[in-house]
Amino acid sequence: MRLEGKTAIVTGGASGFGEGIVRKFLTEGAQVMIADINGKAAKTLAEDLGATACTVDVSDGASVQAMAEAAQAAFGLPDIVVNNAGVTHLPQMMEYVTEEDFDRVFAVNCKSVYLVARALVPGMKARGSGAILNVASTAGVSPRPKLNWYNASKGWMNTATKAMAVELAPEGIRVNALNPVAGETPLLASFMGEDTPEMRAKFLSTIPMGRFSTPEDMGNAAAYLCSDEASMITGVCMEVDGGRCI
């Protein structure tokens, strides 16, 4: 019960890594809001797990503000915010990625972190505490070919994490990131271009431990970084990648 008495928002929490984080937080005693663009999935999961649900488009300022207000109404200013929602473009040479796809990747993966900070950091500062966890990717540490602008968006998130951490530390707010390798999530097929045994084998050959990241792996790492056990840890971009970035 490392998170007993804590409250948390997890964006993109209705599936994949986000769902793994939600489940772990609940088992550790937190109250959790599952915030997802797929409101129906968020509501269904919340009803199953005993959480709160919220439909949100993290790339839209008004939607993020509404999420913050919904959390305030449900359980007050959250102690923990996990910026997990993310998208990618299909693997292709950088000059062939459409402007629409580029804008979408940076709006969801990067602008969302700013919007969430704008909505929730002032309250955390006034309270003098908070934990923010950004879900980046090994793609932002050791980029894969043809995931060019996705790689860049996750590199941005790692740098943003450090910039947020050093600025917010005097305010009692910790900011860390997780860098998972690809996992069994809705984005896996998009990363690979096609989900075939051959393509999976090619991906797995780059991971020394020989398997994908799981939602459980992410939940375990997130629970530690957001707990009081990690009270001296901020600005860390932890690789949960089975050795992928060595």
How far from chain centre, in Å, is Cα 35? 11
* 65 vs 209: CA distance, rounded Å: 41
User: Concatenated DSSP letters for 141-182?
Assistant: TSPPTT-HHHHHHHHHHHHHHHHHHHHHGGGTEEEEEEEEPP
User: Concatenated DSSP letters for 17-39?
Assistant: HHHHHHHHHHHTT-EEEEEES-H
Residue 245 · residue 214 · CB < 8 Å: no
Whether 150 is catalytic is yes
- Catalytically active residues are 150
